[in-house]
Amino acid sequence: MTTADNHDREYIMIWVWLVALLVTGTLIFMLPISKTAAIALIFGIAAVKAILVLRDYMHLKSERMLVYAIAAVPLVLAIGFALVLIPDIIFRR
């Protein structure tokens, strides 16, 4: 088996995982759980799908750690900005 065949097989397996996660995320609302838990699960599944796409289709698994550090800064800022808004959401009149 050649290296190209291995890459093709890997891409197909990642695609199968992405489709399976898509179906799982779609079917979560059929589970007897609260809406908040369902939304949290869907966001978790979306994060896993994003990681799969970033690592395999955008070829970031072979990059140096500096690329991950550069990508982490906006992520930390976005989470920080969202957390800053929590008091406004809780204490709004």
Contact 49, 21 (CB under 8 A): yes
The tens digit of pLDDT for each residue in 23-70 reads 999 999 899 999 889 999 999 999 999 989 988 887 777 777 777 778
Contact 35, 28 (CB under 8 A): no
The tens digit of pLDDT for each residue in 56-67 reads 887 777 777 777
Nearest residue to 61 (alpha-carbon basis) of 12, 1, 3, 14: 14
Q: Taking the domains of the chain in order of start, what are their residue ranges? A: 1-62, 63-93
Left if phi > 0, otherwise alpha if psi is -120 to 50, otherwise beta: which for 59? Answer: left
Q: Is 85 exposed, middle or buried (0-12, 13-18, 19+ CB in 10 A)?
A: exposed
